[in-house]
Amino acid sequence: MKLIIIIAWRNIWRNRRRSIIMITAITVGLWGGLFAASFSHGLLEQRFETSIEQHISHMQIHHPDFIRDQAIEHQIHDWAEIYDMLSADGEIKAFSGRTILSGMLSSANLTRGVRIMGINPELEAQTTGISNHLVSGTYFAEEIANQILVGKKLAEKTKLQERSRLVLTFQDQDGELVSAAFRVAGIYQTANSVFDESHIFVLQSDLQSILDEQIIINEIALLAKDAEAIPQIRDTYQELFPANTFRTWNEIATELSYLIEMARVMITIILIIILLALGFGLVNTMLMSVFERTRELGMLLSVGMNKTRVFLMILFETAFLSLLGTLGGILLSVGFIYLTSKRGIDLASVGGDSMEAFGFSTVVYPSLSINLYFTLIILVIITAILTTIYPALKATRLSPAEAVRDQ
C-alpha cells in the first residue's frame, strides 16, 4: 500500500502543468464559493443579531388582546410579579417593560404618525442597547421632564435636532386625546431605518404624569443568556402566567426565521455547485491521465500488478489532487474571510439606504462556521472517490496485450 501511495504521488507530478492547473482551479473555485457563502452567512447573521438585540429580543410578553388591537388599555396586570421573577431568574440576561402608544408627532415642519415607546431607561439600555446607538445628544441624562429620543431618519424628515421642541398627541385609556410638549434629548440610529423613522422613546415616568395613571406595561421584551433555552423559558412562564401571551422571536418575526432557513439553503446550493464542478473536473483530468498512460498501465498489468492496486493508484492520484486543491482553497478562504471580517465590507455606496430599509447593516462582516470546513473536506473526499470510479474502472479493464500493441 505504501508503494502504491508513493507511485500515485509521483504520477500527479509527471504532468506538472496539468496538475497545477487542476489544483489551482479547485483552490480558486472553493475560495469563491466559500467566500460567497461567508458573505451571505455574515449578512444574515448580522440581520438576526441586530433584530434580536435592537428590536424584538428573544421573547415578548403581551396581553392577548394587545396583539390584535394595540391599544394602551390592553396592559399586563402581572407586571410586578413577572418583574420579580425575571430579576431573580439566572437564565435571563436582561428585560424591559414598555408602555406602547400610537400617536402623532408634530414639529414646526411636519406632522406624522409614530410609535411611542415609554421605557425605563436603565432596563431598556440593558435589553436593546439603545443608549449605545446615539448619534447626537444624551440618553435621558438631564433631569428635566418630557425628554424624547427620535430616530435619525425621522429627525431628518422632520428637521428635528438636539433640544428641538415637538408635540406628541395620543389617546389615554378612556380614548380621550392628550397632547404634551417634549424636547429632543438625543437622536439614535439602528440598523433598521424603517424602525428609526417610526419609533420614538420617552420616559415611562413622564407618560405616567401626563396620563395621571400608574405605570402601564403593554410589552415585556427579554433576552436569555442561552437562546436555545427560549422555548423552555416560554413554556415555564406561560404556565405561571396564563393570562398573558408569550411569543418567541421566530413567532414574532416569521420573516427572520425564513431568512435564516434561506441562508442554509443558499449555502447548501453553493456547496453542491462547487462539488459538481469539482467532480466534472476530476473525471476529465483522470480520464485524460488514463488515456495518456494506456501503454504504461498495460505493462503494469502484464507484469503482475493486480487490478485492485491499479484502482487504488488512480484513487490516490485523484485524492491527492482534490485534497491539495481543497487545502489551498480552505487556507485562502480562511485568510480572506478573517481579513474582511475584521475590517468589514462597506456597501453604503451601493444601495446602503435600501439595505437599511430592510434592516441590514451597510457594513457586512463575512463569517462561516468552522463545522462547514470539516463538512467540506468530508464531501470532497466522497466526491473524489465517486469521480474516481469511472476512470479507475477504465484503467482496470485494459487488456495488457492490446494496450501494449496499440501504443
Closest by CA to 360, choosing from 49, 72, 68, is 49
Contact residues for 100 (Cβ-Cβ < 8 A; gap 6+)? 70, 72, 115, 116, 117, 118, 218, 219
For the chain, the average pLDDT equals 85
Look up residue 99 and give its three cell numbers. Answer: 408602555
| pTM for the structure as a whole | 0.74
Q: What does the alpha-carbon distance between residue 319 and residue 313 come to, in Å, rounded to a whole number? A: 10
Its domain, for residue 315, covers 2-52+256-406
Mark whether 193 and 238 lie in a shared domain. yes
For the cut 60, the answer to whether the pLDDT of residue 110 exceeds it is yes
**How many degrees, rounded to 5, is the angle at CA 293 between CA 310 and CA 391?**
55
Q: Do 289 and 383 belong together in one domain? A: yes
- pLDDT given for residue 401 in this prediction: 56
Closest to 135 (Cα-Cα) out of 149, 115, 125? 149
Per-residue pLDDT for 238 more than 80? yes
Q: What span, in angstroms and rounded, lies between the C-alpha atoms of 311 and 398?
A: 12
Write out the three cell numbers for 65.
388582546
Is 250 domain-assigned? no
191, 221, 243 - which closes a domain:
243
Indicate the burial class of 357 (C-beta count within 10 angstroms; 0-12, 13-18, 19 or more): middle
Q: Is residue 99 part of a domain?
A: yes
What's the structural domain count of the chain?
2
Question: Is residue 361 included in any domain, yes or no?
Answer: yes
- The answer to whether residue 59 sits within a structural domain is no
Decide if 57 is inside a domain. no
All cell numbers assigned to 284: 476529465
With beta carbons less than 8 A apart as the criterion, state whether 162 and 172 touch. no
Domain final position from 190, 218, 243:
243
Q: What is the pLDDT of residues 182-205, one digit of tens each?
A: 999 999 998 888 889 999 999 999
